[in-house]
């Protein structure tokens, strides 16, 4: 059985890391790495037109973040798999990476051997990530403390049905001022700035 070559592109601003990774990958049987970009903009300009299977994407890029770049590239070429490479493993980065379509999330201290294994896993439909990172991901699913009160949840659901201050106030026998205050508190608790974002976040977190 002949083994297929996996074509890889790298987006990484640190010259040394980028070159090292390129050499390691390109020098390994079954792997080819002919494309490396120092920033998101150049990757955006090229990747869609290249025969690439897997992209290794640094998160901390100058200019557009690796997450933003991944979001845009994934729209252009959804068949390409993205593995995020990063030093930081904070929940927001992980969560956002997966939301924009990344298939894996690895820390930069991953050994070269493991890296190749993980690239292969992604290529074959898996989702490589350390056990620790998997744990963080699954905790993001869980609403430990639903930050919203019952009243707030009730009102947010009404907003999602298209109701405005007045509608809600009338249905709940409240002053529109009160409704407005509740909504402002909802925004504050969800860290959003308007209805659209609030509804989106609330649904994604299964609050409504």
Site for DNA, rule CB under 7 A: 149-152, 164-166, 172, 174-175, 177-178, 180-184, 187, 193-195
Closest separation between CB of residue 175 and DNA, Å? 3
Residue 121 touches which of a copy of itself, DNA, none (Cβ within 5-8 Å per kind): a copy of itself
| Coil vs helix vs strand at 36 | strand
| Closer of 131 and 145 to DNA (Cβ) | 145
Phi then psi for residue 193, to 5 deg, are -120, 0
The residue assigned the tokens 């949840």 is 153
**Is 164 near a copy of itself (CB under 8 A)?**
yes
The residue assigned the tokens 């659209």 is 196
For 145-182, b/e burial (b = at least 16 CB within 10 A) is eebbeeebbebbebbeeebebeebbeeeebeeeebeeb
**Which residues make up the interface to a copy of itself (CB under 8 A)?**
75, 78, 95, 98-103, 121, 125-129, 131-132, 134-135, 137-138, 141-144, 154, 159-162, 164, 192-200, 203-204, 206
């Amino acid at each position: 059985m002949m083994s297929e070559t996996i074509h890889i592109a790298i987006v990484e601003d640190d010259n040394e890391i980028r070159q090292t990774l390129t050499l390691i990958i390109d020098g390994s049987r079954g792997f080819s790495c002919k494309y490396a970009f120092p920033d998101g903009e150049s990757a955006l300009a090229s990747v869609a037109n290249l025969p690439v299977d897997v992209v290794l994407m640094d998160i901390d890029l100058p200019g557009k973040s690796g997450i933003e770049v991944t979001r845009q590239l994934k729209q252009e070429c959804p068949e390409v798999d993205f593995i995020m490479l990063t030093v930081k493993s904070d929940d927001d980065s992980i969560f956002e990476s997966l939301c924009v379509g990344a298939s894996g999330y690895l820390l930069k201290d991953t050994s070269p051997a493991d890296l190749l294994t993980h690239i292969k896993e992604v290529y074959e439909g898996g989702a490589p990530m350390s056990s620790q990172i998997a744990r963080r991901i699954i905790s993001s699913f869980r609403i430990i403390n639903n930050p919203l009160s019952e009243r707030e949840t009730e009102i947010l659901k009404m907003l999602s049905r298209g109701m405005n201050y007045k509608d809600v106030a009338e249905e709940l026998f409240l002053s529109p001022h009160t409704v407005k205050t509740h909504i402002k508190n909802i925004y504050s608790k969800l860290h959003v700035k308007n209805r659209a974002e609030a509804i989106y976040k609330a649904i994604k977190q299964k609050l409504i």
